[in-house]
Amino acid sequence: MEPLLEVKNLKIDFTTEYGVIQAVRGVSFSVYPGETLALVGESGCGKSVLCKSILGILHSRGKITGGEILFEGKRISGLGEKELTAIRGREIGMVFQNPAAALNPTLTIGKQLAEAVQVHGKLPKQECRARVLKLLELVGIDRPEERMKSYPHEFSGGMLQRAVIAIALAGNPKLLIADEPTTALDVTIQAQILKLLKDLQQKTGIAILFISHDLGVVAQVADRVAVLYAGKIVESGSATEIYSDPRHPYTWGLFRSLPCAKTNGALIPMPGQVPDMLHPPKGDAFAERNSYALAIDFEEEPPLFHVTGTHYAATWLLHPEAPAVKSPVLVHSGEVLVNE
């Protein structure tokens, strides 16, 4: 199958008054039709910058300095505003973290949805209304006829996120980018929105690029997972491979930090901080925080080593000459067990 979205060796720099920040340092991944790929990482790892670059909405200080982005085989990185407008919403929809900020407080939900519908081709009033009602129904909003007359402040957080998803779906996109779509929501509402996304995918076959820092949430939705650290993908594989056989020490650290992780004693925090990408460290960017770091980690960046045909990780521990290290993390029967 041909990938829907292909990101190839993408590099993005931000120019600031202090110097150049390398936010994305050679990232490659693909999203296939109908699947969910989750990008996992902490704040500052470059995941939001990546999404924005796909839609061409990078901050003016950010610039793609290498690589390319292909959508259905066509290069979309570097396109002009006019061509990008045709892609945004129609080919690729986007859902942001904070639904309240994504909506206009002075317009009714129905008006905002109608606006999104009309952008993708003028429709007669009645047809547009029917489409709005259908979208509201699709995202599970009850009594859509009544609800379309409501203003955002009359909606709860979960309902707002449903409305935002409806807007993102207005142009029948093939790919939905969801950037931390449930982070601002309560846990019971989060579960509903995750279910909604999965249901939508089943109904419409839409592909989802899901951005999250939460391994719990990711396990619920992802078919494949890519772990980002300091602007690079450090591990990637099917969800089953990443959870049942994680290979990168950073992925282990993410699991260990989970409050639900069962350790022998206290919670095991990851030491240190994300490196300052104004001055990227020599060697592996994670070496400083990595208790499994080898001498070579401080000298040379590890390449991607294959574990299986679909699973690979950028750690020298996978080099044939490296000492054998067993993963301290085991995900089994819904529990994360840490053995250290």
- By CB under 8 A, name the binding residues for another protein: 42-44, 157, 186-191, 194-195, 198, 213-220, 222, 239-240, 243-244, 253-260, 266-270, 273-274, 331-336
Complex with another protein: residue 269 or 323, whichever CB lies closer: 269
Q: Smallest distance, Å, CB 91 to another protein? A: 28
Query: Least separation, in Å, of the C-beta of 339 and another protein?
Result: 16
Q: Which of 226, 244, 237, 257 has its CA nearest to residue 45?
A: 226
Cα(85)–Cα(66) distance, integer angstroms: 22
Which CB sits closer to another protein, 21 or 218? 218
Q: Give the shortest CB-122-to-another protein separation in angstroms.
A: 38
- Of 117, 95, 284, the closest CA to residue 176 belongs to 95
Q: Which is nearer to another protein, 76 or 215 (CB)?
A: 215
We find the least distance from the C-beta atom of residue 133 to another protein, in angstroms, to be: 25
Cα 333 to Cα 340: distance, rounded to the nearest angstrom: 20
Count of CB atoms situated within 10 Å of the CB of 161: 29
Tokens of 212: 């999250």
CB of 270 to another protein, least distance (A): 4
Between residues 78 and 216, which has the closer beta carbon with respect to another protein? Answer: 216
Asked if 29 contacts 40 with a C-beta cutoff of 8 angstroms, the reply is no
SS3 219: helix
| DSSP per-residue codes, 48-110 | HHHHHHHHT---TTEEEEEEEEEETTEE-TT--HHHHHHHBTTTEEEE-S-HHHHS-TTS-HH
Q: How far is the CB of 201 from another protein (least distance, A)?
A: 12
Task: Give least dist CB 328 to another protein, A.
Answer: 15
**Identity of the residue numbered 171:** G
* Closest to another protein by CB, 80 or 265: 265
Nearer to another protein, 130 or 267 (CB): 267
**53 Rama sector, left if φ>0, alpha if ψ -120 to 50, beta otherwise:** alpha
Nearer to another protein, 60 or 273 (CB): 273
Residues 90 and 176 sit within 8 Å (Cβ to Cβ): no
Instruction: Indicate the residue among 56 and 253 with the shorter CB distance to another protein.
Output: 253
Least distance (Å) from another protein to the CB of residue 255? 7
Mark 132-143 as b/e (b = at least 16 C-beta within 10 Å).
Answer: bbebbebbbbee
Locus of tokens 């104004």: 278
